[in-house]
Structure formats: C-alpha cells, structure tokens
Amino acid sequence: MASDKIIKSRFFFEDEVEEKLAEVPTEEPDSWQADEKLAKVGKPYSRIDGYDKVSGTARYAFDMHLPNMAQAKTLRCPLAHARIKGIDTRKAEKLSGVLAVLTHRNTPEIKWYGTSFLFDTHLRYEGDEVACVIAETESIAEQAIKLINVDYEELDHVVDAKEAMQDSAPKLYDSGNIRNGEPGTYSRGEVEKGFAQADTVIEDTYRTQIAIHNPTEVHCSVVNWDGDRLTVWDSTQGIFRVRDGVANSLNIPLNSVRVIKKYMGGGFGSKLEAGKYTVMAALAAKQIGRPVRITLDRKEMNLAVGNRPDSVQTLKGGVKKDGTLTALFHHSYGAIGAHPSNAQCSWPLKSMYKCDNVKVEEYSVYINAGRARPFRAPGHVQGFFALESLLDDLAEKINMDPLEFRLKNYADKDQVYNIPYTSKVLREAYQKGADAIGWQNRSEKPGSGRGPVKRGIGMSSQIWWGGGGPPAYATLKLNRDGTLRVIAGTQDIGTGTYTFMAQVAAEALELPMEKVEVILGDTAVAPYCGASGGSTTAPSVSPAVRNAAENMKAKLISGAAAHLEVPESQLTYQKGMVNHKTNTDKSIAIDQLVREMGEQVMVSIGKRGANPEGYMINTFGAQFADVQVDTETGKIRVNKIVAAHDIGRVLNVKTLENQMHGGVIQGLSFALMEERVIDRYTGKVVTFNMHDYKMPTIMDMPDIEMFIVSGGDPKISSTGVKGVGEPAMIPTPAAIANAVYNAIGVRIKQLPMTPDKVLNALYR
Amino acid sequence: MKSFSYHQPKDIREASNLLGDNWQDALLNAGGTDLLGLIKHDIEKPDHLVNLKAVKDLDKVRYQEGKGLSIGALVKLNDLAAMDIVQNKYTVLAEALQETASPQLRNMGTIGGNLCQRPRCWYFRGDFDCLRKGGELCFAADGENKYHCISGGGPCFIVHPSDPAVALLALDASVTIAGKDREYTVPLHDFFVLPEDDVMRENILQPHEIVTRIHVPDLPSNTRSGYIKFKERDVWDFAVVSVAAVLRMGSERIEGGTMAFGGVAPKPWMEKTINDALNRMEVTDTNLDSLAQIAFTDALPLAQNGYKIPLVRNLIKRVIRTLNA
Ligand SMILES: Cc1cc2nc3c(=O)[nH]c(=O)nc-3n(C[C@H](O)[C@H](O)[C@H](O)COP(=O)(O)OP(=O)(O)OC[C@H]3O[C@@H](n4cnc5c(N)ncnc54)[C@H](O)[C@@H]3O)c2cc1C
Ligand code: SF4
C-alpha cells in the first residue's frame, strides 16, 4: 500500500494563495485519462439528498429544535459610525421571558477581524453588533432589544471609497482608511515602453457596484453545551474554520467543539468563517445552561455578513494594428467596508491574455459599511467586466473581430509565474460558444439594428484557479453487508458534494450507487477537508475518495488472498467480488469477505495527492450573450447565454448544469440588477430587503446552453477534476456588457446596467 | 412589532366606530399584504387592528349597462382581474391588475387595500424618521431618489405605488367612503392628496373612514384602453413609470380620451395638456412626437430620476401606437 509524506501545499483558495502542511500519498492510482469513459462518474445522477430537500424532511441549521432551547437576537448599531458612551439593559432584562443580555460589559474581550472585538465600543458601521438578547421566544428577544437604551456618540462617517481616500475624510482607524497604507502593486516588463510600441491606446474607467450574497438560507447557529463540550449546528461553508474560530474565541480545546452542517441553502462566500453570532450564542448558552438558537433576519443579512466590494477601475490598453497587445495598465480602488478585506480585481488583466508589459496598482479602502467577504469569484467578476469592455473597444479601434483579437493574444502559458498550465482547452470553448450563439451573424456595426428594440451579441473569456489541492482526506468504511460509507470533513453547500462523492466511490469499487452512503459536515467524525470556497471542493476531495477506494480495493485483495490462501497477484477486483484470475472456484464476494474477517467494518483512508510541481492549474471558459435592448425604456433583456468551459473532468453533468445555471443567473443579476445602495448623508443602507435589493425572477431568465470542452486533466490528480462554481459566473456580466454595446453602440461603463443608466446614456 | 388588540366587526358602522377619531389608534386590515409588513417593521404601530373581512357585501362586483361597474372594497385583485366584463370592457384595469405585485399577493390583496396602501419610498420603509413619519426631513430630496417623483413633489417626493389606481383614474372612477355618520362619494381624482396638502397621508380618509366601493362609469363602445407598466424586472416589481390610456377611437383619429400615469408623482397623475391634445388627434408619428414633447414639461426631476422624462414620453407614444394598431 502507498506510503505517505508531508509537504507544504500551496494553491489558490478564492483569490489568495493558501499554504498548509498536508500529508499526501507518495503513490497514487493512475489518473483517469482525459477521454476515459467511466461508468458512474460524469453521469446525471439526481442528488442523493434531493428527496430530503424536496419533501421537507431535510433539517437545516435553521430547523434544529432542541428541548428547552432559547432564542437569541442581536442589537445592531443603527448609525454608520458611533461610539458607545453608555448602555442600559435593565429594562430589557426585566421583560418577562428574557434570559440574558450580553454586551461588551459582561463578556470577555474577544478579538475579532484583527481590528476589533466581539462587542466593540467603537462601532464602525450600521449593523455592527452592540448586544445580544436571549429569551424564551424570538419575539420576546426582539421586543427586549428595543428596550435596551444605548447612548451613542455619533461620529462622522464616510461611505464612499473615493471620499474615504482623501486626507480630510473621517478615519475608521488611526492608521488611515487605505488598507496597509498603500496600494497592492504588480508589474512585469516595461509598461511605458509597451504603450510606446502601440498603434492604438485606450484608457477608460469602469465601475462596479457593491453586491450582497443574500443566500436563500440566512446565517444561523444552534448551540448546545454538554458539560464543557460544545456542539454547533451551523449554516457554514467551512466546518473546520468554524470549529477553530469558535474554540479560539472561547479559549477552549478544539476537541471540545463539534460543528455539524448537513444541508445548506447557499453561502456564495458569505459563510466561510465563524460568525460573531455563533460565539454570542455559545456564551449565552453557557450562561443560561440551555441550548440557544440564533438567526439573522434579511435586514441583518444585507448589513452585516459580507458583500462584494465595489470597484472603480481605470484601465489602459495598448495594441498594435495586427492585434498584438503591447501593454496593460490597471489602477483601481474599492470599498472593503469597516474591517480588513480585499478589493483587488486585477487578476483577469494580469493573467488572461498574453501581454509582456503589465502594471497594476490597486487600493482596498475602509468605509463605514459592512465588511466585504469573498463573493463567488472575488475580483474576477469585476475585473473581467472592465478588461473585456476595454478589449472590445480596442478591437473595434483596430477593426478586428473581438474573438479573433482574443485568439491573437491567447496565452500559452501562465503569464504571472511564467510556467505551463496543466491543461488549457480554451480555443475549443471559443469555437463551440461562437457556433452556438451564431457569432457569424453578429452585426459588425454596433447600434445599427432597426426599430426601437435592438439586438446584440457579445462575449467574454474567463480564467480562474479551481485546481484545489491537499490537505483533503476521506475515510471509507465497508460494512459486513457490503454497503459502503464515505466520510469526509468537507460540506455540501448545495452544490452536490454528497452525490459526486458517492459516484466516485461507487465508480472505483464498481458498486451500485444505492450501496454508498456519504457522511459530511461533522468535525467530530470526519477527517479534515478545507472550506468550500474557491471552487476547490470537488478537485480537492474527489481524489481523496478515489484514493481511499483504491486502498480499500488493495485491502480486499489482501484479505481475500489470506482467506483463499492464494497469492495476491492471482486475484483481481471486480464489481464487489475478488476473483481468481484463472480458478473460478477461488472467488469471494466482499460482504462475505468482511464477515470472514470478523470485523463489523473495514476502514481505508484516502488522501488528496500533491499538485504537480512547476505547473499552474486554471479553469478556462468563454461565455457568449445574445441580448436585446429596448431603447425607448432602457431595458436590457438577455435572450441567451452560451457557456463553454474547460473545467477538467465532469463528475455529474446534472449538478454541473445546476452550478452553471446558478452562476450565469448570478452573473446576469450582477450585470443588470443587484446593487447595495447606501444613503450618503446618513451612511445607512436603503436596500435592506429583497424587494429593494433586486434579484431577477424566473421571468427574467435567459436560455442557457452549456458546453464542457474538457475531458479530464490527469496531471492534477487521480480524478482530473477542476472546479466550476466560480468560473460559471465570471464572464457573464462582461459578455452581457459587450452584447449591449453591440446592440446600441453606446458603452455602459457602470454596473448594474439598469434602465436609468441606459436611458441616460442614450438621451444625454 | 408592537402588540395590538384585534377586532372583527360585522358591519361598516361598527368598524368605523372601532377605528375611532385618532390617527394611529386603530388601523383597518383587509388582505393584510401591506399592513402586516408595515406593522412588523414598526412603521405603523396601532393599538387596535380592525379586520374588515366579516363585513358583508364588500366582496361583490356589480355591473349594470349604462351605469358601469361597482366594485366592493374587499374584492380580491385576482378575482377582479379574472372577470369577463373587466377583461373585455375595462381592459386597462384588467391589465393594471395583472401587472400588480405577484400572483400570491393578488390572491390576498384587495382593491380597497390597494388604493390605500402606503408608499414604498425606501426611507419611509426603513429606519429613517422622515417627514411622512412625522420627522423633520425628507431624506430622498437630496439622497437616493432614483425611484422618486418628477411631478407634484415637495416637501415629500414619493410616488404612489398603486397600479390599479392609475387605471381607475384614467377610467374616471370614483370611490364611496363610509364614516361614523355619513357616506359620500368622491371622484378618485379628489381622493388622493399631494404632500403639499398633507405630508403624512396619501388620501383624504379621516381616521374613522372606510372605502366601501369603487365605481367605474360605463364606456362608449368605441373605447380602447390599455396599461403599460415599465418595471426593472419582469414580475414582482413596482412601476418605474406606468401609463394608462382610455381612448375613444374614431375611424381616422382619436375622438378623445384620458391618460393617467404612475411612478411619476405622489398620486396617480394626469396632465390636462395631454388629455386636451388627445382630442381629435390623428395618430401619426409627428403627432405622437408633439404629444410626447408637451408631456411633463413642468416636471422637476431630482438628481437621480431625470431618466423618467424620456421614459414616460416614450411610453405615451407606445401605448397609443399599441391601441391604434
Ligand atoms: C412585495 C409586494 C409587491 C407589490 N407590488 C405591487 C405592484 O406592483 N403594484 C401595486 O399596485 N401594488 C403592489 N403591491 C401592493 C399590494 O397590491 C397591496 O399590498 C395590496 O393590494 C393591499 O391590499 P390588502 O387588502 O392586502 O391591504 P391591507 O394590507 O390590508 O391594507 C393596506 C392599507 O390600506 C388600508 N385599508 C385596507 N382596506 C381599506 C379600506 N377598505 N378602506 C380604507 N383603508 C383600507 C389598511 O389600513 C392599510 O393601511 C405590492 C405589495 C407587496 C408586499
Ligand atoms: S420622499 Fe417622503 S416618504 Fe420618502 S423620505 Fe422623503 S418624506 Fe419620507
């Protein structure tokens, strides 16, 4: 059996490199080859948890009801910037049914965000946590919150990144509002020289809005102490992160915290860390000696659990007449809210196209608003909107077809690290997408359509990481009846993880799907896997499952050899049987073998192998949009999106399609509707409900056609899988924006492209 | 949410008595689709809730030739929209009803409640103590006002949220109001009030008064009517701008007609110049352009809502073209 070693593993998690020690196998089974036809992997199995969800038997964290459970609600700061001068909770405490009120005065000083505390007296945004009330019912808790009397000293606020960068702006921190005091920078080649070589140079400024994750399921925890052990049912994308965060905050051993998450109604990046609410509930539960449930309402969701930072991006691009990009420059700033986060969005410009001279300068700026968090392809969605708008304008200037222009600047190796990709199948994506959208019928003269409703076609490329990496482990347990249990410390955040894990195990051990059960989302029983973000779950975890299955196979052969008293080399594994190669009498079914071995279960462990040295792992794709713009009303309708992507091997084409549709819809929504609006004078959010924070309905949906152009990427892992969650959304807004330009001949340089912006552009 | 006591009167008089004479003491509940949200979010804080449900005869619709349509205040939006007479004769109303809210809300919401719903200004609905809630300031005037009014505003700049009201105004409807000691009928035109007259209320109702019926006059047989609602998403959205047109069509020209507008003013809006210009107007591109040009010339857009002017002008042309087709 394969031996193991420890390595320092580095890979992109969201838009930052994560570094971790990981145990990896020194030998792995041969990877499934790119064109290998598999029996179960890739097939459109329905979700194995689908029935539970549809029938309502699935219990989300929100649905957990423990005997004697109390309810908690949070008092949040109603002002954009304030200091607590005094706080009087007596009235609230006296209200019948109130069990406890937590504030900065009666709780330990627990560090948060590195810049603040669980309960800080310096409140930096509308929504900052002031107190937590625990009561017999939610409605009592809500009433009690209103009885808390807080004496706020109102401070000057700033809610716009540009204003916040001025010296005269109110400061959130003594060190100033620019995070780290300086921009993030990057450069390669000599950008000035590059511009000098260009025949055409364009500079323009593009803006994107702040968007809120707004998953269907609100943030919520149920906590229960059993002695000094704490169990947390949480709606989270990272059970181990929650465990670590909660244990650190409470200063208790990791062993004492168990985090469980079975089902989830979406996170999109807003649930990648331990929430203050979980720690508040845990403190309260300890104090009152009862389980506590804490939930956020939709307004809290829109204020306090993350957002996609906005961006003001000034891009400059130089191009020769023959279409060669000679230089690219990116300057941007974006608001990260009141606590450390990241508003950078230059990765697309740095990495998508071949260009020798690149320079980047980008600022992350504190403002008095809720803190930004990773949001489905952080930086990339914003960055591609700007980059691809600029590229289309450059192509038009030199009279070149936009697609041809992109092919002309196709990058054959990674541009930042100057190393080869493990695989890149983007040309095929361009081809498939162009054919399906009818690129050849695209009008070359923008805005030339007749009548008030004008049609246009546009496209955008996509790059993202999504290769995942170790550490990720899975345990397999074979029962004496031949059923198999897969256990891993990842979590299914609604993406279909349960189902593809069963498929991979069933594939490797040639078992029917019904024989496989999958346990995820429980830190007490499952081996470690990373958080579900960065499109890393499937590429990290699926090889661990496959490797565990292959190890199990080896064990079964070894067991059968001992039992049948034949050499291992004479035996092969097939469909739940260990067979002798020549002697048909010498074969044994695995359930019988497990019984013979006298064990209830057989256990094997699988580990995600190391990524190959000296390669970049990226996903690629292209999306094409067909839109119509009503020039009398300014309304944009997206008729169709064609999404053609290279994502390595497909694990389940059905859940893949779900991811694609979800990504495209979220992209469309970002392009056309969603926007967090803040009132400048009060610094308070006005779009705090799902009516004013607009998301599309089924009526606004386009046709979506999907092509996967990749087979599998055997260089990466034993399964050859890359991620898809984020790639699906990245190019959609840019493709729509380019299609809108093609339709009306006027470029909308600011998202969302709402009717007022279109009308203002047309009726200037 | 503040606690309240709940009442279910059997008739209008009893309901009116329960409502009493003081603002905010008691509020009527019809379908509750707007009211419950208002109470939950502490925008309305009544001590008493008076449910109209058990009051008889308010859920009936009658049509008499020559006299027109009489609609009880408790008639559900979807029920009204489904009636043949409404679809065939009062097309503008049917279309406005179909464009209202969502199917679920139309199944619960009543026509009386729809006319009396509170505005959707996001400051009003939020944690802002603005003029309309008795505060000192209109936050929208210099704030986030992309959805606010371009006409009839000041000192508050809401738009009236109802779609059916716009259609009913174009249809020259009137409402019957019952109070403690009298019942009277007013043209819909006089039912709504502008902020300059009363910044805290959208209509003339006194605390004890209840809308009982809505009357729509019969229409000449050469009438064609229609409603265009422009919204940012295709369903479940209030009007950015809407246009209702009721036109008497001659063989060569429009004999006359009325247009009413939503999303532009604190009440369903009419412009006399437009209605005058419709008189004997021939539908040509040039005439439509001139009609659009005289529309909303008095409008005073705020910083972020100037786009509503080209929008409403384009919709005026579009609705007439559609009805003339
Ligand atoms: C998400 C959402 C979207 C919506 N979209 C639209 C839309 O696009 N277009 C549109 O027109 N409307 C829209 N609405 C409003 C909806 O149509 C109204 O809520 C509904 O018509 C109100 O009817 P109701 O019977 O539920 O009224 P209630 O909620 O019961 O009452 C509303 C108000 O009217 C008062 N009232 C009720 N009946 C009477 C009466 N007979 N006499 C005097 N006062 C009375 C109540 O006291 C209360 O103040 C939307 C509402 C929601 C929640
Ligand atoms: S427009 Fe009216 S409702 Fe809105 S903030 Fe101003 S006063 Fe209040």
Structural contact between residues A551 and A607, judged by C-beta atoms closer than 8 angstroms:
no
User: Between B234, B304, B310, which is nearest A759 by CB?
Assistant: B310
Structural contact between residues A744 and A447, judged by C-beta atoms closer than 8 angstroms:
yes
Question: Measured from the CB, is residue B296 less than 6 Å from ligand 2?
Answer: no
Contact B232 A677 (CB under 8 A): no
Residue of B7, B34, B238 best suited for mutating to test ligand 1, as the one with most atoms within 8 Å of CB: B34
Smallest-distance ligand from the CA of B119:
2
- How far apart (Å, rounded) are the C-alpha atoms in residues A80 and A619? 40
Name residue B247's amino acid.
L
For residue A438, give the nearest of A460, A459, A461, A462 by alpha carbon: A459
Cα of B35 from ligand 1 centre, angstroms: 7
Which two tokens mark A276? 């203050």
The residue with tokens 């969201």 is: A14
Q: Are strands B174-178 and B210-216 parallel, antiparallel or unpaired?
A: antiparallel
Contact A679 B123 (CB under 8 A): yes
Q: CA geometry: angle at B301 spanning A633 and A668, to 5°? A: 35
- How far apart (Å, rounded) are the C-alpha atoms in residues A505 and A488? 12
Q: What is the pLDDT of residues A706-732, one digit of tens each?
A: 999 999 999 999 999 999 999 999 999
Q: Over pLDDT 90: what percentage of chain A?
A: 97
The full 3-state SS of chain B, as one line of letters, equals CCCCEEECCCCHHHHHHHHCCCCCCEEEECCCCCHHHHHHCCCCCCCEEEECCCCCCCCCEEEECCCEEEEECCCEHHHHHHCHHHHHCCHHHHHHHHCCCCHHHHHHCEHHHHHCCCCCCCCCCCCCCEHHHCCCECCCCCCCCCCCCCCCCCCCCCCCCCCHHHHHHHCCCEEEEECCCCEEEEEHHHHECCCCCCCCCCECCCCCCEEEEEEECCCCCCEEEEEEEECCCCCCCCCCEEEEEEEEECCCCEEEEEEEEECCCCCCECCHHHHHHHCCECCCHHHHHHHHHHCCCCCCCCCCCCCHHHHHHHHHHHHHHHHHC
Long-range contacts of the stretch A223-227 (C-beta < 8 A, 24+) = A223/A278, A223/A281, A223/A282, A223/A285, A223/A291, A223/A292, A223/A293, A223/A294, A224/A66, A224/A285, A224/A291, A224/A292, A225/A282, A225/A285, A225/A286, A225/A289, A225/A291
Residue A623, beta-bridge partner list: A460, A643
Q: What is the pLDDT of residues B167-176, one digit of tens each?
A: 999 999 999 9
**Which residue lies with its CA nearest to atom 4 of ligand 1?**
B101
Structural contact between residues A210 and A676, judged by C-beta atoms closer than 8 angstroms:
yes
The residue with tokens 């409807």 is: B173
At residue B2 the predicted structure's pLDDT band, cuts being 50, 70 and 90, is confident
- Contacts for B37 with CB less than 8 Å, ≥ 6 apart: none
Q: What is the pLDDT of residues A130-169, one digit of tens each?
A: 999 999 999 999 999 999 999 999 999 999 999 999 999 9
Quick count: other Cβ atoms within 10 Å of Cβ A285?
Answer: 25
Cα of B142 from ligand 2 centre, angstroms: 11
**Which residue lies with its CA nearest to atom 31 of ligand 1?**
B113
Consecutive H or E run containing A499: helix A497-509
- How far apart (Å, rounded) are the C-alpha atoms in residues A556 and A163? 67
Gyration radius of chain B over CA positions: 19
Structural contact between residues A273 and A259, judged by C-beta atoms closer than 8 angstroms:
no
Query: Each residue of B213-234: b (16+ CB within 10 Å) or e?
Result: bbbbeebeeebbbbbbbbbbbe
pLDDT of residue A600 exceeding 80:
no
What's the confidence (pLDDT) of residue A582? Answer: 93
For residue B173, give the nearest of B162, B182, B164, B161 by alpha carbon: B164
What's the confidence (pLDDT) of residue B1? Answer: 78
Contact B234 A694 (CB under 8 A): no
For residue A232, give the nearest of A164, A283, A179 by alpha carbon: A283
Structural contact between residues A71 and A134, judged by C-beta atoms closer than 8 angstroms:
yes
Q: What is the mean pLDDT of residues A258-272?
A: 97
pLDDT of residue A236 exceeding 60:
yes
What's the confidence (pLDDT) of residue A597? Answer: 85
Quick count: other Cβ atoms within 10 Å of Cβ A637?
Answer: 15
- How far apart (Å, rounded) are the C-alpha atoms in residues A378 and A533? 10
At residue A2 the predicted structure's pLDDT band, cuts being 50, 70 and 90, is low
DSSP letters of A191-228?
HHHHHHH-SEEEEEEEEE--B----SSPPEEEEEEETT
3-state secondary structure of A69: coil
Question: Measured from the CB, is residue B153 less than 6 Å from ligand 1?
Answer: no
Q: What is the mean pLDDT of residues A493-510?
A: 97
- Contacts for B260 with CB less than 8 Å, ≥ 6 apart: B166, B167, B169, B170, B243, B244, B268, B269, B270
CA end-to-end span of chain A, whole Å?
A: 72
What's the confidence (pLDDT) of residue B317? Answer: 98
What's the confidence (pLDDT) of residue A668? Answer: 98
What's the confidence (pLDDT) of residue A420? Answer: 98
Contact B307 A686 (CB under 8 A): no
Consecutive H or E run containing A430: helix A426-437
pLDDT of residue A549 exceeding 50:
yes
pLDDT of residue B63 exceeding 90:
yes
Q: What is the pLDDT of residues A28-71, one digit of tens each?
A: 999 999 989 999 999 999 999 999 999 999 999 999 999 999 99
Q: Looking at chain A from residue 170 to 189, which residues have their Cβ under 8 Å from any Cβ of chain B?
A: none
Q: What is the pLDDT of residues B189-210, one digit of tens each?
A: 999 999 999 999 999 999 999 9
pLDDT of residue A581 exceeding 90:
yes
pLDDT of residue A305 exceeding 90:
yes
Cα of A681 from ligand 2 centre, angstroms: 14
CB pairs under 8 A between A and B: 79
Q: What is the pLDDT of residues B110-152, one digit of tens each?
A: 999 999 999 999 999 999 999 999 999 999 999 999 999 999 9
Chain B residue nearest residue A753, CA to CA: B232
Give ipTM to 2 decimals: 0.97
Helix ranges, A510-647 (H): 537-564, 590-596
Structural contact between residues B147 and B242, judged by C-beta atoms closer than 8 angstroms:
no
Chain B residue nearest residue A764, CA to CA: B307
Q: Are strands A229-234 and A257-260 parallel, antiparallel or unpaired?
A: parallel
pLDDT of residue A117 exceeding 50:
yes
- For B229, phi then psi, to 5°, come to -115, 120
Q: What is the mean pLDDT of residues B173-185?
A: 96
User: Between A679, A696, A759, which is nearest B233 by CB?
Assistant: A696
Task: Residue B233: list chain A partners with CB under 8 A.
Answer: 673, 694, 696-697, 699-700
- How far apart (Å, rounded) are the C-alpha atoms in residues A755 and A763? 12
For residue B176, give the nearest of B66, B32, B65, B12 by alpha carbon: B12
- How far apart (Å, rounded) are the C-alpha atoms in residues B194 and B183? 23
- Residue A34 burial (10 A CB sphere; 0-12, 13-18, 19+): middle
Domains of chain A and any CATH numbers: 5-60+468-607 (3.30.365.10), 64-156+219-295 (3.90.1170.50), 311-467+614-763 (3.30.365.10)
What's the confidence (pLDDT) of residue A764? Answer: 74
**CA distances in angstroms from B287 to A507, B46, B85, B277, B282, listed in the order given:** 72, 52, 32, 9, 7
- Residue A283 burial (10 A CB sphere; 0-12, 13-18, 19+): buried
- How far apart (Å, rounded) are the C-alpha atoms in residues B27 and B113? 12
Cα of B160 from ligand 2 centre, angstroms: 12
- Contacts for A585 with CB less than 8 Å, ≥ 6 apart: none
- How far apart (Å, rounded) are the C-alpha atoms in residues A161 and A178? 9
- How far apart (Å, rounded) are the C-alpha atoms in residues B304 and A671? 20
pLDDT of residue A601 exceeding 80:
no
- Contacts for A630 with CB less than 8 Å, ≥ 6 apart: A452, A453, A636, A637
Which two tokens mark A603? 């256990």
For residue A392, give the nearest of A464, A453, A332, A444 by alpha carbon: A444
Question: Crossing angle of helices A732-744/A755-762, nearest 10°?
Answer: 30
Contact A755 B128 (CB under 8 A): no
For residue A683, give the nearest of A162, A159, A310, A77 by alpha carbon: A159
pLDDT of residue A119 exceeding 90:
yes
Task: Residue A692: list chain B partners with CB under 8 A.
Answer: 122, 125
- How far apart (Å, rounded) are the C-alpha atoms in residues B158 and B145? 9
- Contacts for B13 with CB less than 8 Å, ≥ 6 apart: B178, B180
Question: Measured from the CB, is residue B123 less than 6 Å from ligand 2?
Answer: yes
- Residue A612 burial (10 A CB sphere; 0-12, 13-18, 19+): middle
Smallest-distance ligand from the CA of B207:
1
What's the confidence (pLDDT) of residue B269? Answer: 98
At residue A1 the predicted structure's pLDDT band, cuts being 50, 70 and 90, is very low
- How far apart (Å, rounded) are the C-alpha atoms in residues A654 and A636? 29
- How far apart (Å, rounded) are the C-alpha atoms in residues A187 and A672? 33
